[in-house]
Amino acid sequence: MTGNTDSSSRPSSLACLPCRQRHVKCDAVLPVCTRCRTTGSECQYVRSRRGLRSHGKKSLSKPLDENVFSVPADTIPDWLDAAFPSDLSIETLLQPHDGPIVQDFSLDETFALPESELVTPKVAYDPMIQLYYENFHPSHPFMVPRRALGTSLGFLIPPQLLSVMRYIGAHYYPDPALKQAFRQAAFDAPSNQSIEAGFKVQALLLLAITDHCYCHEQSAHRLIQTAVNLALETGMNRRRFASEHSYGHSVLEESWRRTYWELYVVDGLLAAMREQSSFRLYHQPANVQLPCDEKMYKSDETLENLQNNWSLGQDFSAFAYRISAMQKLGAVLGLNRSLEDGVGSHIETIDAHLVSSLMVLPPLHGESYDSSYHDEMIFQAQMILYLALIYLHHPRSGMRFASFHANPPTTCTRLQLPATLTTQSYCDSELRPSQTLDLHSHKLLRAADLLSGLATLPSPIHRRTPFFTCALAMCIIVHTAALLLVGAEKQEAIKARIQLSIGGLNVLGRTWPLSKSVRQQMVDMYQEVVGK
C-alpha cells in the first residue's frame, strides 16, 4: 500500500507541548512546528515515551491464550501518550471519573509504551460492568472480553460505550431503580462526536436491543438502521476493517468481526418481529471473516463457504452456527413475501435446510461443549431455526391464528386474536376436535413444542437473550390455537407447554419490561380463547 508520506497526511511520532495541550496533531518540524509558527506560540519539545512503531499486523491463526491479553509493545494510540503526562500518579489514574480523561482525541496511530508505565484500567472491576458480562454478554458476545478490559486494551474503549454497558448491567442489579441513574448517559453516548465510528456502532446496537426490551419498537428500529448505515459507511462489512482498526490487538480485531455479525443477527430478529420481508444486511455483500470460538482464533471462512460446506460436517464456531441460522430465517421471510409462482418447491427446500441444520448443530451440553458461551450461541441457533420453521409453516397451515402488529408503536409484539379463533366461531366452523391436522400444522406444532422446550434447559432463563421473549410468545400463540383443534387427550400436554412458556416470560419479566408486558398479553389471550 503506497501513498503520500508528508507530515500533513501522516501523524508525527513527536509532538510539541502546545500541540499536546490542545490535543491537536503536530507535524514536529524543528525547531518550530508549523502550527506554532502560524499561531505565534512558543514551541517546546520533550523527550517522547514512545518507542518503535509496528509495520505489520498480528496473525489471527494462533490459539487464544494468556498472551493475547498481554500488553503489546506497539499498540497504544497516540492520544494516550498525551492523556497521561509524566507527573500523573497511579493513585490519580485509579480515581473513578465520569467522562473521558481527554475530551477530544484521535485513535489514528500506534506507538510503543514501556509496560511498566501502563496502569490497569479500573473499569474491569466496575460492579455494573461485571453484571453486564455475567448476565448479558454471553448472549450477545461482541464486546471485548472483560479480562481484556484489565489490560491496555481497556484504555481504547470509550467512556461513552462503557456508559451503555453500565446501563445494561444495572438491569441485573437487585434494586430496579438503579438503572435510571445510568439511562441518560447511555442514550447520550451515540451523539458524542469524539467516539470512533466502530464503537458508536456497538453503542447503537446495544441501545437498539435495550429499546426493544422496553417495547419501544420504532426507536429500536431507528437505532438499528442507524447502526447499519454507519457500519456500511465505514466498511465494517469488509474483511480489512477489523485489522485496520484493531491497533494490533487481535482481541479487538475479533470484536469488530463479531460486531458486524451481531448486527446481522439483531437486524434479522427485529425484522422478523416486525414481519418485514427481509432485513438489510441479508442482501448486503460482505466478506467479513466469521467469528471464531472462544479458545482459538482459527476461523477463516466467509458466509458463502459456511453455506457450501454445511452438509460436509465442517467444524465452525458456535457464533457461526447462529449466523447461518439467521441466514435461513432471512430466506423464510423473503419467501413469505414473494409473489412469484411455484414457490412450493422452494418451501420444501427451505424446510429441508432448516431441519438438516438442526441435525448438525453441536449439542448444547456435553463434555466438549461445557462453556456458557457455546451454550448460549447454540441455544440461539436452535431458537432461530425453530422460529424459521414457525414462520415458514404458519401461513400455509390450517391453524390460522394471531398475527404480530407493531402498532401502537409503544407495544412490541402486539398480539391480537382474530374473531375466527374465538370459542364460539370454532363451534360454528367446520373444524372439530380430533380432526386430523394438515402437514403444515403438524410441523408448526412440532416446532412450537421444541422451541418452548428450550425453556427447560438448566441455564438460568434471566440470562438468556431478551429475544427469547418473542420466541416464547410465538409458542403460546401456536399452542393456544392448537387447543381448539386437538382432542382432549392432547390438551393437557399443550396446556403444560403454555404454562412453561408463560413461566419463562415471568422470569424474563423481572429484568425486561417487554417480557412482563407480553406475558400479560398472552395470559389475556389464553383466557379469552379457552376460558379461565
β-sheet bridge partners, residue 416: 403
Reference 70, options 249, 191, 335; nearest CA is 249
Reference 468, options 373, 411, 386; nearest CA is 386
Reference 187, options 170, 210, 214; nearest CA is 210
Instruction: Return the pLDDT at 56.
Output: 39
pLDDT along the chain (532 residues), means of 10: 41 65 74 76 59 37 34 36 35 35 30 39 89 95 90 90 96 91 94 93 98 94 96 96 91 94 96 84 91 57 55 69 94 82 80 93 63 75 96 85 37 41 37 64 94 91 94 93 84 94 96 95 86 58
By the 10 Å C-beta count (0-12 exposed, 13-18 middle, 19+ buried), 388 is classed as buried
Alpha helices in 361-406 (DSSP H): 372-393
Instruction: Return the pLDDT at 397.
Output: 87
User: Which grid cell sits at 431?
Assistant: 373444524
Instruction: Return the pLDDT at 21.
Output: 66
Q: Is 169 left (phi over 0), alpha (psi -120 to 50) or beta?
A: alpha
Instruction: Return the pLDDT at 309.
Output: 52
CA–CA gap between residue 147 and residue 446 (Å, rounded): 41
* Three-state secondary-structure class, residue 77: strand
